[in-house]
Structure 1
Amino acid sequence: MTSASSPPPSAPVPSEVRLRIADQPRRGGTARRIDGAWWPRSYDLAAELPGLLGGLPDAWGRIGSVLVNGDTWPACPERMVVAGQEVYVGRTDSPTAPHTVCLIAPGRGRWDLLVVPPATEEAEARRLMDRAVTQDG
């Protein structure tokens, strides 16, 4: 016997998100460093952002703003609703950070993630992600 209803589609669970977070927190007066690395499956921000935000540490709080490079993420909405919360998406054209995404949680802080291009071979992507989260990365 088959069921007439099927379960609703679900967003990726955090374990499916290809994300690594640095173990060591940023030091107060040092230059900004990468806080982690993210390897999205595509450049479709509307499809990828919910999984990323769902995979972040709880201590980071609710991300209210995301800043992406406009050349890297050509089709990104200005606002998205993720897990029932509105997230503002800003674009920058800075050539100094084409492969990063900046996450901002009001009252909590800012975190910068290296974005590994989706088409990267798995071995290379894992090497880049590991390097990004080491102290000397």
Structure 2
Amino acid sequence: MTHDHTFTFPPVDAKHPLRLRLKPKAAPTGYVDGAWWPRTRDLAAELPELAEVLEIRLGAVSRVAYAIGAWDDTPRRVEVEGQVVRLEGFHVQDGNVVHVTGADKRRISLLVVPPGLVGSAGHDAMTHASGRGNADSPADILVAAG
């Protein structure tokens, strides 16, 4: 479900660093460009820190496409560092992926490692997804990670 409000969130606690791994910057290959392991299913709260880091590759983040059923209720817009980011939920999108688009239309597709995954499985999935030349599907990456 989405809402029409724009929300502003404080930065995520520094005690819990962002869990993100990207493939080396090169010609894109495969289904995903890396992996993100959020701590919750609250996309609006998790997004500011992710957008800040991805700005290095994308410029200011303008849009995030996500699977509606994979996340808690999400507003249609979130303010990140003074910029409004559109959050667009889809029923047909893979629940294990988010597509993050910059203002210049460059896009990064990320495997979303389930927040509840414990032990080394999450780290294994992130390493697999961010491997140079990895072309495995998101589902195959998660199955291989355990």
2:117 and 2:102 mapped to 1: Cα distance?
29
Determine whether 1:52 maps to 2:53.
no
Q: Is the 8 A contact 1:26 1:35 kept in 2?
A: no
SS at match of 2:79: strand
Amino acid in the other structure paired with 2:102: A
Matches within 5 A, 1:115-134: 115-134=112-131
Say which SS state the counterpart of residue 78 (structure 1) adopts. strand
Give yes or no for contact 2:35–2:111 (8 Å, CA) kept in 1. Answer: yes
Matched, 1:75 2:85: no
AA matched with 2:120: A
Gapped runs of 5+ residues in structure 1?
Answer: 1-8
Q: TM-score, normalised by structure 1?
A: 0.81
Deviation larger for 49-58 or 110-119: 49-58
Aligned length: 124
What is the rounded CA distance, in whole Å, between the counterparts of 2:129 and 2:114 in structure 1? 14
User: Aligned partners of 1:76 and 1:131: how far apart in 2?
Assistant: 28
Question: Is the Cα contact below 8 Å between 2:113 and 2:125 reproduced in 1?
Answer: yes
In structure 2, the residue matched to 1:103 is 100
> Which residue identity is paired with 2:47?
L
Secondary structure of 1:55's counterpart equals helix
Runs of 4+ in 1 over 6 A off after TM superposition: none
Please, which moves more after superposition, 112-121 or 102-111?
A: 102-111
Alignment equivalent of 1:41, drawn from 15, 21, 39 = 39
Q: Please give the TM-score of this superposition, normalised by the length of structure 2.
A: 0.76
Match of 2:19 in 1: 18
Q: Is the 8 A contact 1:38 1:116 kept in 2?
A: yes
| Structure with larger Rg | 1
Q: Deviation of residue 65 (structure 1)?
A: 0.4
Give 1:117 deviation, angstroms. Answer: 0.4
Deviation at 1:83, TM superposition (A): 1.0
Partner secondary structure for residue 86 of structure 1: strand
Residue ranges of structure 2 left out of the alignment (5+ in a row): 1-8, 137-146
1:39 is displaced (CA, Å) by 0.3
For the 8 Å contact 1:26–1:33, the answer to whether it is kept is: no
Q: Which has the higher helix share?
A: 2
Partners in 2 of 1:59 and 1:74 — Cα distance?
27
Q: 1:74: Cα distance to partner?
A: 3.4
Q: How big is the shift at 1:24?
A: 4.5
Identity %: 31
